[in-house]
Structure 1
């Protein structure tokens, strides 16, 4: 037949065509791989490892080599408890503000269940440090402070009383409940009471980094010339908390006695401010208290170098800190009260109150007119 040669020619043409197509595809594939192939390694580096080495036992072996701190978390599981159901449409308090614009709770009587909170904190084995400064004649307040604290402060929980003093021999020996101890910390005194007040921030900062961080989980820093008169428990604890000042809880911004001199590190403009916080009651975790006291100490030191002293000393710097580092919880005036203000309707409990005293005899010419006239 005459088709043999032609057929051979056709077959050769078809083979050359296929070869050309394969060659073009190969060149394209090489180009694509050389340009984009390594990006697969960038996109999926760990998945490549899993694919190539990915037998289950290999992955488990790798995980055991690199332990995670998440494996060490303590489970806080409550036991069966009976208590009234929270009512979504019936808030426990409508006469006072109970939450800030940044969603920090303001603690008032009736806004929490102490049994639930105690159960949670007991499960965590929380340790609380309570600091007071008994400098010079202020040692006379220690006994009343500690005895009333034993009756009302963190009852049933582990507590360390940290007493900063320049007169250790004047600190009384007081019998404490199990799990509670009194630690005397000897510190220098200063001639002016204002200097003593401001140095508190430096001392709390230093002891937080050197000692407290190893001994307690939370620190509560209060004035010593006070007494506990009602229950104060774990409801106050949070990352960092402040307390409403009893002289200014109902005042507007213009009524707050912030530091108004722009050259001071404690300066707060007249159109800023949330609340006026008391210098004699703040706290939180050791880490957060360290940050707060470190800020206040450094700001005071800067002002001192510029021959400035904020109008209300450490309290002014505390208010500056809380303006730009919002507290995660705020204590109402139940937790810091002066009976000289009477008893307003909103005040259902007076938990921590000022001890009547002769201020001039104690610290030389300190006046409380600011509070009386607020």
Structure 2
């Protein structure tokens, strides 16, 4: 009997080790530095073999220019890093093909005052410059949306949404709002959609090299970690439940063709509502459901953490440029009723 009790205790301790190390990782800068030395898997695509192509210009991607990082997935989709692509070549190709982009962002409650103006102004300087861009700002206070001087071929629409008392509900219900606006408006005007969290700032080119049919983002805090540390939802009662996956994706940025994004957000919304009916809430809310969907429906394009970086992580030799940065988080101030 004592043997079984000791064994049970030991197993519990072992199960807590990954969680404890993850907590240490997020709070200890020295641990962040150490994690940066853990090698990533490498692209197994042979030279001369074609990857999964989102468009003809992807043939020009140089998968062997970055030997320090993983540049393709096991299903041969590209992982986009600085040094792999010719930006002018991509821009010329997408202009020729008539690509246009809808950007959705939610600024509800105090998030509007704190982040929206900086987000939009920085986007004007760095996001899809040279392509038609339509901003869709979802907010509970349309009258407070700041005036932004927009460049040529760039428009902004404000859509009023209900403010929920819990930030988790705001985060999850955006899936339904995005689906609705794609159906009613975006699909008639834009070839692609990108969905962003508002508490971010563009700092470098976030251009047409990021466009694809289904686009996911490697989470900056997990891309060097072993899969056993990924914080997937482990509750079998949730529709977001996962035992394993390919990567850990960040819900702060996702995109693709309007058809693919509509399919993603509709599936996530349906699963969120089914969880609600069963009194279940996924561990990381819409991000948990996003990860489950992208495991079942592999993205055709993956963005490196350059496309959403947190300076709190510290120096990483593989991050040669930062294109979008996390803004300082003030959860105690912004998430209180």
Q: TM-score, normalised by structure 2?
A: 0.81
Alignment of 1:1-374 (within 5 A): 91-140=64-113, 141-269=115-243, 272-364=244-336
**Could you give the per-residue CA deviations for residues 8-33 of structure 1, whole angstroms, max 9, x where no partner exists?**
xxxxxxxxxxxxxxxxxxxxxxxxxx
Structure with higher helix content? 1
Q: Give the SS at the match of 1:353.
A: strand
Structure 2 unmatched runs, 5+: 1-54
Structure 1 unmatched runs, 5+: 1-75, 79-85, 366-374
Q: Distance in 2 between matches of 1:358 and 1:230?
A: 24
Q: Distance in 1 between matches of 2:309 and 2:315?
A: 9
Q: Distance in 1 between matches of 2:312 and 2:66?
A: 25
Q: Is this contact kept in 1: 2:61–2:84, CA < 8 A?
A: no
Q: Distance in 2 between matches of 1:124 and 1:87?
A: 18
Q: Which runs of 4+ in 1 moved over 4 A?
A: none
Q: Distance in 1 between matches of 2:165 and 2:258?
A: 29
Equivalent residue for 2:37?
none
Equivalent residue for 1:370?
none
**CA-atom RMSD in angstroms:** 1.9
Judged with a 3 Å threshold, the aligned counterparts in structure 2 of structure 1 residues 77 and 222 are, in CA distance, closer, same or farther, namely closer
**Could you give the per-residue CA deviations for residues 317-342 of structure 1, whole angstroms, max 9, x where no partner exists?**
00000101000000000001111101
Judged with a 3 Å threshold, the aligned counterparts in structure 2 of structure 1 residues 77 and 92 are, in CA distance, closer, same or farther, namely closer
**Could you give the per-residue CA deviations for residues 207-261 of structure 1, whole angstroms, max 9, x where no partner exists?**
1111111121100001101100011100001001100001111112210110001
Q: Distance in 2 between matches of 1:151 and 1:280?
A: 19
Matched residues, number: 281
Q: Deviation of residue 91 (structure 1)? A: 2.0
Q: Distance in 2 between matches of 1:77 and 1:315?
A: 31
Q: Distance in 2 between matches of 1:194 and 1:152?
A: 29
Q: Distance in 1 between matches of 2:262 and 2:329?
A: 31
Q: Distance in 1 between matches of 2:329 and 2:156?
A: 24
**Could you give the per-residue CA deviations for residues 84-137 of structure 1, whole angstroms, max 9, x where no partner exists?**
xx798x921100000001010000000111111111101112110111000111
Q: Is this contact kept in 1: 2:61–2:85, CA < 8 A?
A: no
Q: TM-score, normalised by structure 1?
A: 0.73
- Which protein has greater RCO, CA pairs closer than 8 Å, 6+ apart? 2
**Could you give the per-residue CA deviations for residues 276-295 of structure 1, whole angstroms, max 9, x where no partner exists?**
00011000011000110011
